């Protein structure tokens, strides 16, 4: 069976779910599509993205050179932080995903979205995974945080509390904001691979922007099919790494007895940067 959306769907998989990227197989149209996506996002980065992200996009040559070769990209990344990027066909099982991260391998989808899905797509493609996630893996502190997240996966699964840990990923790695010297900056890959959400996350009155707190985040439900209603703001990558290092057992015990928080809710203990006016009816 062929799959119009993802031409790698049925590629032969290794035991760790990696596949052959077969870089030579990308068409001129696919390279051009990457370049248009990258140009659209890059124009919005100055003054909006975390400086570490902007520096790394440049250093890793992720701009207008066409669809990246993950092997070559890994050769640039490895000497910086020990991370590599490995091609996969689609979402991999949770335990496989965590094992890759714990070993400093980022699994990235090899296909690129179609022309019909330039703004919104249902599963992560190479533009989201590589342009969105890989730059910050060149930052040593962020690189440690991501490994620690992977190492925490097995423990969360064993306790049946993967949902709590997944919220940490969602509200930081995918949709995180950071406090910069002159205003908020974006570091989340889900935002940085979407021109619409780059503007929305920083400039719209609709969503809440509140300070990051690990327990608060792990209690907060999220929606996957629209822009976020709440963004969490970290102080720095150091602060994020320190909050997320070590054992979450006591925290997971507490979370069992605490109610979830809705995606649009602001709670008493929040450090509020902006209280959202909510989505238009």
Binding site for ligand HBI (CB under 6 A): 88, 91-92, 94, 97, 107, 124, 166, 169
Among Fe ion, ligand HBI, none, the one that 277 touches (CB under a kind-dependent 5 to 8 A) is none
Of 91 and 277, the one with the shorter C-beta distance to ligand HBI is 91
Question: Residue 106 CB, nearest distance to ligand HBI (Å)?
Answer: 9
Q: Which residues contact 5 (CB under 8 A, 6 or more apart)?
A: 111, 114, 117, 122
Of 45 and 173, the one with the shorter C-beta distance to Fe ion is 173
Q: Longest Cα pair distance anywhere in the chain, in angstroms?
A: 54
Residue numbers 144-203 binding Fe ion by CB under 5 A: 189
Question: Residue 101 CB, nearest distance to ligand HBI (Å)?
Answer: 9
Of 39 and 91, the one with the shorter C-beta distance to ligand HBI is 91
Among ligand HBI, Fe ion, none, the one that 92 touches (CB under a kind-dependent 5 to 8 A) is ligand HBI
The length of the chain, given as a count of residues: 281
Among ligand HBI, Fe ion, none, the one that 102 touches (CB under a kind-dependent 5 to 8 A) is none
Helix axes of 162-169 and 140-158: crossing angle, nearest 10 degrees: 160
Among ligand HBI, Fe ion, none, the one that 166 touches (CB under a kind-dependent 5 to 8 A) is ligand HBI
Question: Residue 5 CB, nearest distance to Fe ion (Å)?
Answer: 17
Residue burial 216-249, b: 16+ Cβ < 10 Å; e: rest:
bbbbbebeeeebbbbbbbbeebeebbebbeeebe
Residue 223 near residue 178, CB atoms below 8 Å: no
Closest-CB residue for Fe ion? 189
Of 107 and 188, the one with the shorter C-beta distance to ligand HBI is 107
What is the rounded distance in angstroms from the CA atom of residue 78 to the CA atom of residue 69? 14
How big, in percent rounded to 5, are the helix, strand and coil portions of the chain?
Answer: 45, 10, 40
Of 105 and 185, the one with the shorter C-beta distance to ligand HBI is 105
What is the rounded distance in angstroms from the CA atom of residue 274 to the CA atom of residue 214? 19
Question: Residue 218 CB, nearest distance to ligand HBI (Å)?
Answer: 12
Residue 104's region, left for phi above 0, alpha for psi from -120 to 50, else beta, is: left
Encoding tokens for residue 209? 């922007």
* Token pair 């390279």 in the structure block, residue: 31
What is the rounded distance in angstroms from the CA atom of residue 224 to the CA atom of residue 251? 25
Residue 134 near residue 80, CB atoms below 8 Å: no
Among Fe ion, ligand HBI, none, the one that 218 touches (CB under a kind-dependent 5 to 8 A) is none
Among ligand HBI, Fe ion, none, the one that 130 touches (CB under a kind-dependent 5 to 8 A) is none
Of 125 and 139, the one with the shorter C-beta distance to ligand HBI is 125
Closest-CB residue for ligand HBI? 97
Of 107 and 276, the one with the shorter C-beta distance to Fe ion is 107
Interface residue list for Fe ion (CB under 5 A):
189
């Amino acid at each position: 069976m062929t799959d119009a959306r993802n031409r790698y769907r049925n590629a032969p998989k290794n035991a760790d779910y990696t596949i052959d990227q077969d870089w030579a197989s990308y068409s001129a149209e696919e390279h051009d599509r990457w370049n248009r996506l990258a140009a659209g996002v890059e124009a919005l980065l100055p003054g909006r993205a975390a400086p570490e992200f902007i520096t790394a996009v440049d250093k890793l040559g992720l701009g207008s050179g066409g669809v990246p070769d993950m092997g070559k990209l890994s050769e640039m990344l490895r000497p910086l932080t020990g991370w590599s990027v490995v091609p996969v066909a689609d979402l991999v099982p949770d335990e496989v995903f965590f094992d890759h991260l714990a070993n400093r391998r980022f699994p990235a989808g090899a296909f690129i979205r179609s022309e019909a899905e330039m703004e919104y797509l249902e599963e992560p493609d190479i533009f989201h995974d590589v342009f969105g996630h890989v730059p910050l893996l060149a930052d040593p502190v962020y690189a440690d945080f991501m490994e620690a997240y992977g190492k925490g996966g097995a423990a969360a699964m064993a306790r049946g509390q993967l949902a709590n840990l997944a919220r940490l990923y969602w509200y930081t790695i995918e949709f995180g904001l950071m406090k910069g010297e002159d205003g908020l900056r974006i570091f989340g890959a889900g935002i940085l691979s979407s021109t619409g959400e780059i503007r929305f996350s920083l400039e719209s009155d609709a969503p809440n922007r509140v300070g990051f707190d690990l327990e608060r985040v792990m209690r907060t439900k999220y929606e996957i099919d629209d822009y976020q209603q709440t963004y969490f703001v970290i102080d720095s990558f150091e602060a994020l790494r320190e909050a997320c290092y070590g054992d979450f057992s006591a925290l997971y015990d507490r979370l069992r007895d605490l109610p979830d928080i809705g995606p649009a809710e602001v709670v008493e203990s929040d450090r509020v940067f902006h209280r959202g006016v909510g989505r238009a009816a």
